């Protein structure tokens, strides 16, 4: 038995990244990508010193009690709401995430989803594929303009700023944002973005994009009362986390055309999707793929692996989420 640290790779990842990890660690991986339940995950972590996770493994006090050797968990995601950070700190377990490497890719996707939603791209494609297109019509899938419209961004971290820059510089949009704190004036200037209270932003924006991290306070940040503030012509895009939007309230607002359309990449209780959303034509639904390009997913996996390597060779974690 070698004396290398033992690592669990909890989901299937790029084989060459597993090979890299094998140069440094004893690795148990999951090439068949089985979704272990918490008890199975705990059993596998019982003799491990570290773990490579994605957002689908919950790291909490119960799990750590079953994993006495565990010292570090590297998440292949910028979001880490699957970590109970307080419990990890109390147990002396280092958590890391994968920021920065996905910023521009995720901002691209936020914009793509906004455009698909406002311009009714998937709805019109389904119509065409169903053989229902018979001729040109003046109002066929008439949607909302993007250029020159008002973009409201809730959550103005790195990805939010990337979306703001795309909107302001690429599409001549007026950009409003709401965030826990205001950006420094030079960042506001670079994004051509104006700070507004949440309610005022919801009332004013033609397109609202959610890019904030999930916290318990952010649960149902957009529910019936907030949707009621939005214009009936407005669109809502969520690339942040499920649970920030009350999906049942959103489905009701879309069904009753209280807002025009929504684009959702994340869902409450995903991979389950609220059944009402699946029946509505005015919502674009994608399976949590905002960061999913080959180079970016590789960079995320590599950063998670590098965090484990740096932690165990004594350099300390590269992108810690607790200290």
- Active site positions, annotated: 241, 270, 288
Least Å from the CB of residue 214 to ligand DGY: 9
Report how far residue 159's alpha carbon sits from residue 154's, in angstroms, rounded to the nearest whole number: 11
Binder among 8, 78, 173, 209 for ligand DGY (CB under 6 A)? 78
CB nearer ligand DGY, residue 35 or residue 39: 35
Directed axis angle between helix 103-118 and helix 121-129, to 10°? 60
The token pair at 57 is 């493994």
Least Å from the CB of residue 241 to ligand DGY: 7
| Other beta carbons within 10 Å of 289 | 14
CB nearer ligand DGY, residue 56 or residue 282: 56
Least Å from the CB of residue 158 to ligand DGY: 12
CB nearer ligand DGY, residue 75 or residue 150: 75
Per rule CB under 6 A, is residue 102 in the interface with ligand DGY?
yes
Q: Which stretch binds ligand DGY (CB under 6 A): 74-82, 144-152, 185-193, 198-206?
A: 74-82
- Please provide the size of the chain in residues: 323
Q: Which residues contact 128 (CB under 8 A, 6 or more apart)?
A: none
Q: Which residues contact 230 (CB under 8 A, 6 or more apart)?
A: 202, 203, 205, 208, 236, 258, 259
Tell me, residue by residue from 186 to 215, as one string, x for binding to ligand DGY by CB under 6 A and - for no binding. Answer: ------------------------------
The token pair at 304 is 């998670």
* Residue 208 Rama label (left phi>0; alpha psi -120 to 50; beta): beta
Within residues 232-261, the interface with ligand DGY by CB under 6 A covers: none
Binder among 55, 143, 242, 317 for ligand DGY (CB under 6 A)? 55
Q: Which residues bind ligand DGY (CB under 6 A)?
A: 55, 77-79, 102, 291
């Amino acid at each position: 038995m070698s004396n290398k640290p033992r690592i669990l790779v909890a989901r299937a990842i790029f084989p060459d990244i597993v090979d890299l990890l094998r140069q440094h660690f004893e690795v148990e991986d999951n090439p068949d990508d089985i979704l272990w339940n918490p008890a199975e995950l705990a059993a596998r972590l019982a003799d491990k010193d570290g773990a490579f996770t994605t957002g689908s493994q919950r790291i909490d006090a119960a799990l750590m009690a079953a994993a006495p050797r565990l010292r570090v968990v590297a998440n292949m995601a910028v979001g880490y709401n699957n970590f109970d950070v307080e419990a990890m700190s109390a147990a002396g377990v280092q958590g890391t995430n994968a920021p920065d490497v996905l910023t521009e890719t995720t901002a691209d996707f936020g914009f793509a989803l906004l455009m698909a939603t406002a311009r009714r791209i998937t709805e019109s494609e389904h119509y065409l594929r169903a053989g229902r297109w018979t001729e040109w019509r003046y109002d066929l899938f008439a949607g909302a303009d993007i250029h020159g419209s008002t973009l409201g961004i809730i959550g103005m971290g790195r990805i939010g700023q990337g979306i703001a820059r795309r909107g302001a510089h690429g599409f001549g949009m007026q950009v409003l944002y709401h965030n826990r704190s205001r950006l420094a004036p030079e960042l506001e200037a670079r994004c051509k973005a104006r700070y507004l209270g949440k309610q005022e932003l919801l009332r004013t924006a033609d397109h609202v994009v959610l890019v904030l991290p999930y916290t318990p306070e952010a649960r149902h940040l957009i529910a019936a009362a907030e949707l009621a503030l939005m214009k009936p012509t407005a669109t809502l895009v969520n690339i942040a986390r499920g649970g920030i939007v009350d999906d049942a309230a959103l489905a009701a607002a879309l069904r009753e055309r209280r807002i025009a359309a929504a684009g959702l990449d994340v869902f409450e209780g995903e991979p389950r999707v609220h059944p009402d959303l699946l029946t509505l034509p005015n919502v674009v639904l994608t399976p949590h793929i905002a960061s999913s390009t080959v180079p970016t997913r590789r960079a995320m996996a590599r950063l998670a692996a590098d965090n484990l390597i740096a932690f165990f060779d004594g350099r300390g974690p590269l992108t810690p989420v607790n200290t």
